[in-house]
C-alpha cells in the first residue's frame, strides 16, 4: 500500500512538472542553444503528450497545483520542524521518554497531513482525466515503477560489488591482526 502511494505520488509530481514545463514551452520556446543545454542526459517521457491532455485540462491541473502549493509547503515545513524536534529529543543529554513520544506523535500528525494533501491533490487531478487518459496514466505509472525498481536493484548490485573488496580486505586485515596477537610458540 505504501509503495503504491509513493509511486502514485512520484507519477503525480512528474505530471505536474510536465504540465508546468509544457505550458512554459508553449509560451516561450527557447533558442536552439538553450534547448541543448537544458535537455537532461536521459530523456524523460512527456507525460502531457502521452496522456493527450487538452489545454483546458492542463489549465485545471495548474490551478490545482497553485491552490495546493501553499498548503503543501506549510505541511512540509511542519513535518521538517517536527522531525527536527524529535531528533533533538532523542539526542538530548537526558532522554525523556514522554517528550520523545510527544515529538513522535507530532511527526506522525505532520506526516499524515502531508499525505492527506498529496492524496487530495492527486484525486483532484484524477477527476480531470478521461477514462482513456486514466488508463494510459496507469500504464505509464506501472512502467515508471518497473524502471525505478530496476534502478534500485542495479544500485544495490553496484553497492555490493563496491563493498565486496572492502569486506575481503577487512576480513584479511582482521585475520592478520588476530594472528599478530597470538603468541609465537617455540618448538
Residue 180 has pLDDT above 80, yes or no: no
Say what the pLDDT of residue 157 is: 87
Say what the pLDDT of residue 93 is: 94
Q: Are 19 and 58 in contact (CB under 8 A)?
A: yes
Calculate mean pLDDT across residues 15-42.
Answer: 46
Q: Tell me if the pTM is above 0.75.
A: no
Give the whole-number percent of the chain exceeding pLDDT 90: 50
The model's pLDDT over 160-169, given as tens digits with 9 standing for 90+, comes to 877 766 666 7
Residue 12 has pLDDT above 60, yes or no: no
Q: What is the mean pLDDT of the chain?
A: 78
Q: Over the range 43-52, which residues count as b (16 or more CB within 10 Å of their CB) and which as e?
A: eeeebbeebe
Q: What is the Cα–Cα distance from 40 to 48, expressed in whole angstroms? A: 17
Residues sharing a CB contact under 8 Å with residue 117, sequence separation 6 or more, in sequence order: 68, 71, 72, 75
**Which of 114 and 177 is assigned the larger pLDDT?**
114
The model's pLDDT over 70-114, given as tens digits with 9 standing for 90+, comes to 999 999 999 999 999 999 999 999 999 999 999 999 999 999 999
Query: Is residue 12 exposed (0-12), middle (13-18) or buried (19+ Cβ within 10 Å)?
Result: buried
Question: 41-45, 48-52, 89-93, 103-107: which range is least confident on average?
Answer: 41-45
Amino acid at each position: 500500500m505504501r509503495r503504491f502511494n509513493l509511486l502514485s505520488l512520484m507519477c503525480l509530481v512528474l505530471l505536474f512538472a510536465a504540465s508546468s514545463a509544457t505550458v512554459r514551452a508553449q509560451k516561450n520556446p527557447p533558442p536552439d542553444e538553450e534547448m541543448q543545454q537544458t535537455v537532461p542526459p536521459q530523456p524523460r517521457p512527456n507525460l502531457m503528450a502521452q496522456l493527450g491532455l487538452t489545454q483546458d485540462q492542463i489549465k485545471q491541473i495548474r490551478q490545482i497545483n497553485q491552490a495546493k502549493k501553499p498548503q503543501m509547503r506549510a505541511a512540509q515545513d511542519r513535518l521538517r520542524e517536527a522531525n527536527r524536534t524529535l531528533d533533538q529529543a532523542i539526542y538530548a543529554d537526558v532522554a525523556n521518554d514522554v517528550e520523545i513520544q510527544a515529538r513522535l506523535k507530532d511527526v506522525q500528525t505532520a506526516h499524515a497531513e502531508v499525505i492527506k494533501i498529496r492524496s487530495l491533490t492527486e484525486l483532484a487531478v484524477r477527476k480531470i482525466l478521461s477514462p482513456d487518459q486514466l488508463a494510459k496514466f496507469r500504464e505509464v505509472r506501472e512502467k515508471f515503477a518497473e524502471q525505478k525498481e530496476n534502478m534500485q536493484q542495479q544500485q544495490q548490485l553496484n553497492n555490493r560489488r563496491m563493498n565486496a573488496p572492502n569486506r575481503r580486505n577487512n576480513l584479511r586485515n582482521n585475520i592478520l591482526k588476530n594472528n599478530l596477537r597470538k603468541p609465537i610458540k617455540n618448538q
